[in-house]
Amino acid sequence: MLRPLLIILLSLFSSLVISAQQPDQRIGELVNTEDWFRLDKEYQILKDSVQTPFLKVVAEAMIARNFNQKERALECLNELLSKYQSDLGAGVFNFIILRAQLLEEMGRYAEAADFIKNVLDQLKGQGVTQGLDAMGYYYQHVNALRELPALSLSRPNHDVSVPFTLKELKPKLIESWMRKKDERNPDAESVLMSIPVTLHGETIPFHFDTGAGTTFVTEKFVREKGLPLIGDSVIYTGNSKGLRTFIDSLQIGEITVRNIVAGVGLEKESELLDLVGVGPILGRDVISAIGETQICMEDSTMLFPFKTSQLPAYGRNMLYNSHVEATAGGESLRFLFDTGNASNNTCYLYAAYYNSHREIIDIIATTDTISGGGYGIAGAREMKVIRPFCLSIGNMPIQLVEAVVDEESALADEYCHGNIGIAAVLQHRKTILNFRDMFVKFEK
């Protein structure tokens, strides 16, 4: 299922050009292609041989940022912006935005807003007038949060367990594109996972969604629960707009999460979510703050361990944005691990995969009418389908009935090859999602 995510304002490395000798050239190549998994592994081997000082700081900043080490990433960005602005060239603007986004993620909203405002004032004082729209938009976005406290969490000194429910999505209003059943995949279902969340004394099922960057509710939900709205509208998936709200606290078992800035779907944009019965969404902001989640299929429980699991032998294989390292046909790939992707036996392949495998896909794939949707997006269209499709994450194979080639996904980017979700969870006794040491692990 397509998920609401705040837009990325600038492409981080479109203006950063690094040209040097090996191993500098290799590290520069991995940075420019945003190959964070290889960078993480190879930089540890090559770092003592890198000759370009600012390149070492760039590599360390991006490793820290992508493996959810925010304080370390901020240290590196501060060093880059104070010592190496001339080396960064036009790419300096990308690191300015990245620094502000990190401050925002850390709940340092006023600091992020004042930093961006100071940069804007300096640029305007130098006579720069073009290219400032995105930075100005971001300033308005984060300045609206400046008086809010940072997200925080309290929990007992023991494991916390809550039950989860697997719910098949059944449209309340049966449209023709929703009810079409693929005869070649008759067992296909759309299944979402919900857990009980207590908000202001009321227990409400929230969908557990690692593919959503933020916790997300509808405008109707905000009205019914008396939640406040924050600032102006923001852009989520594609061109779909929404608002934001502030949730002072919610409870997941014995865990209390406070000060959540949640996305709000406008009533018209949220029509599809209502049609298929999708309720409020617990996003990656809360999931990552908890640290580790273990999805246990045997007894339908979700465990939040007090002592997190040990890093597996294969190392870190998940980025802060829930992209995971996968392999298929001996090739290293990057997939969004999206528990909000409700397809029980299907994954999605994006343009990045199709473009590099076009010849073989055009030969082996069939073309079918595939239905689906998400926030602000709904309908059916013809897409290529590969049957079957196999991949591995960590040391575990995942067998799928089909892979749908979704070249037009609003969530796809140049370096993300696809999306896999509930289909992977259903095949394993336990799924471990660890946002401390950044790994996904499956157990049979």
CATH number, domain with residue 38: 1.25.40
In a domain, 339, yes or no: yes
Angle (CA) 97 228 100, round 5°:
10
282 and 335 belong to one structural domain: no
pLDDT score recorded for residue 401: 95
* 192 contact partners, CB below 8 Å, separation of at least 6: 1, 166, 167, 169, 207, 278, 340, 342, 422
DSSP 5: -
361 and 382 belong to one structural domain: yes
232 and 361 belong to one structural domain: no
Rounded to whole angstroms, how far apart are CA atoms 192 and 273? 12
Rounded to two decimals, what is the model's pTM?
0.91
Rounded to whole angstroms, how far apart are CA atoms 144 and 142? 5
The CATH number for 385's domain is 2.40.70.10
List alpha helices for 196-344, DSSP H. Answer: 219-225, 271-275, 284-290
329 and 405 belong to one structural domain: yes
114 and 168 belong to one structural domain: no
pLDDT score recorded for residue 5: 35
Rounded to whole angstroms, how far apart are CA atoms 132 and 96? 12
CA pseudo-torsion sign 96, 98, 100, 102:
negative
End-to-end CA distance of the chain: 25
43 and 170 belong to one structural domain: no
Domain end residue (candidates: 126, 143, 160): 143
Rounded to whole angstroms, how far apart are CA atoms 428 and 69? 29
Among 66, 67, 63, 100, which residue's Cα sits nearest to residue 81? Answer: 100
163 and 270 belong to one structural domain: yes
136 and 49 belong to one structural domain: yes
- Bridge partners of residue 172, in order along the sequence: none
DSSP 148: S
Rounded to whole angstroms, how far apart are CA atoms 102 and 68? 10
In a domain, 297, yes or no: no
Structurally, the chain folds into a number of domains equal to 3
pLDDT score recorded for residue 179: 44
In a domain, 316, yes or no: no
User: What is the domain extent for residue 410?
Assistant: 323-443
pLDDT tens digits for range 340-353: 998 999 999 999 99
pLDDT tens digits for range 132-163: 888 999 999 999 999 999 999 999 999 999 99
Whole-angstrom CA distances from 214 to 4, 128, 196, 248, 284 are 8, 34, 18, 15, 6
277 and 353 belong to one structural domain: no
Residue pair 406/299 in contact by the 8 Å Cβ criterion? no
In a domain, 157, yes or no: yes
Taking 50 as the pLDDT cut, the residues of the chain under it are 1-12, 14, 19, 173-179
pLDDT score recorded for residue 394: 96
139 and 196 belong to one structural domain: no
Residue pair 93/81 in contact by the 8 Å Cβ criterion? no
Residue pair 89/14 in contact by the 8 Å Cβ criterion? no
